[in-house]
Amino acid sequence: MVENAKKVKRTYSRYEKKEHKQGYLFLTPAIVILSVFIGLAVLFVIYLSFHKVNLFTGQYEFVGLKNYARVFQDDIARIGLKNTLMFSAVVVPIQTIMALIIAAILNSKIKGTYFFRTVFFLPTLTSSSALTMIFMFMFSVSGPINSLLLKAQIINQGINFLQDPSFALKVIMVMNIWSTIPMYTTMYLASLQDLPASMYEAADIDGAGPIKRFWYITIPYLKPLTTYVLLTSIIGTLQMFDQAYIFSGGSGGPSNSTLTVSLMVYKYAFGTQNAMGYAATLALILAVIIMVISRLAEKANGEERIY
């Protein structure tokens, strides 16, 4: 009986069929646009990855899997991938945890909540290019960071953060964390406004302190939003380009310490390398890495929500 019930197909009324047709009709423009500007573009990138392309002459030479084999033999590609993964591995957890903690503090009805909300949100109003220039000034040899370290007698002489391979990528990490925390804090704070107060009241009756309430109520409640934050953070950090480009002048220096996969794609596609096919291959590999890591993060975080 159960098997027969499963085989029975639902029949739709004329009104429901009409609604379905109208829905597909409204979706048609979006489907066409996505197919043309995304679908065809992806297919063209895949096509390019199997060719050696000369943009100046417009010649396409089929090379099969040579571009893919080249990735595993390219030491520069390994450096770029290592920098990209390191950047994402450091920035994503720090900005997520700090945004969550700050949002929880701002939601605890402390004095000056609206003032702090405004101050924390200000960095999101500044463009990435402007922020990069500001941080380059701050971390320059004669900048305020070196001045503070010298006054505190932490260092004896100024550190050239911008030209030191051991510090260059870390400066970009600090800048990215500082500039993205406010946006995620605002999102967490908006979600916390909807958290039922009765849940905290019940926890108080059971004798739960602030830490236990945060760990067993706040964090589980924000799991769906945390999944979204993780996904957008992972995608954004793995695609990091503009900050590294401005910071290094497009070279990925010093000593390839700020070289990322996205910057490599740009250099090979539009720089002196004139290797559009190889750039397309790098872009596809980066896309696959993003999809795999994003899926793992989504699966690891889960999607449950308590009410």
Residue with tokens 């925390």: 181
- Give the tens place of pLDDT for each residue, 87-119: 999 999 999 999 998 888 888 777 766 777 777
Any idea which residue has 């065809």 for tokens? 40
pLDDT at position 1: 45
Residue 88 confidence (pLDDT): 94
User: For residue 128, is pLDDT > 70?
Assistant: yes
**What confidence score (pLDDT) does residue 8 get?**
56
Q: 131-165 pLDDT, tens per residue?
A: 888 889 999 888 899 999 888 888 888 888 888 89
For the domain with range 68-301, which CATH number is right: 3.30.470.20, 3.30.365.10, 1.10.3720.10, 1.20.1260.10?
1.10.3720.10
Note the pLDDT tens digit of each residue in 26-61: 889 888 888 888 888 889 999 999 988 877 777 888
**What pLDDT does 170 receive?**
93
pLDDT at 190: 84
How many residues are recorded in the chain? 307
Looking at this protein, which amino acid is placed at residue 76?
I
Please give the pLDDT value at position 303: 52
> Could you tell me the sign of the dihedral formed by the alpha carbons of 148, 93, 135, 121, in that order?
negative
| d(C-alpha 177, C-alpha 138), whole Å | 16
Q: What is the pLDDT of residue 302?
A: 64
Provide mean pLDDT across the span 287-291: 92
* Residue 82 pLDDT grade (very low, low, confident, very high; cuts 50, 70, 90): very high
DSSP, collapsed to helix, strand or coil, labels residue 229 as helix
Cis peptide before 254 (omega within 30 of 0): yes
Each residue's pLDDT tens digit, 158-183: 888 888 899 999 999 999 998 889 88
Average pLDDT, integer, range 8-20: 75
pLDDT average, residue stretch 231-245: 91
Copy the structure tokens of residue 86.
């390191």
Question: What one-character DSSP code corresponds to residue 123?
Answer: G
pLDDT attached to residue 189: 86
pLDDT of residue 4: 52
Domain extents in the chain: 13-66, 68-301
For 60, the enclosing helix (H) or strand (E) is strand 59-62
Distances (CA, A) of 48 to 36, 70, 123, 246: 17, 15, 39, 28
Q: How confident is the model at residue 273 (pLDDT cuts 50, 70, 90)?
A: low
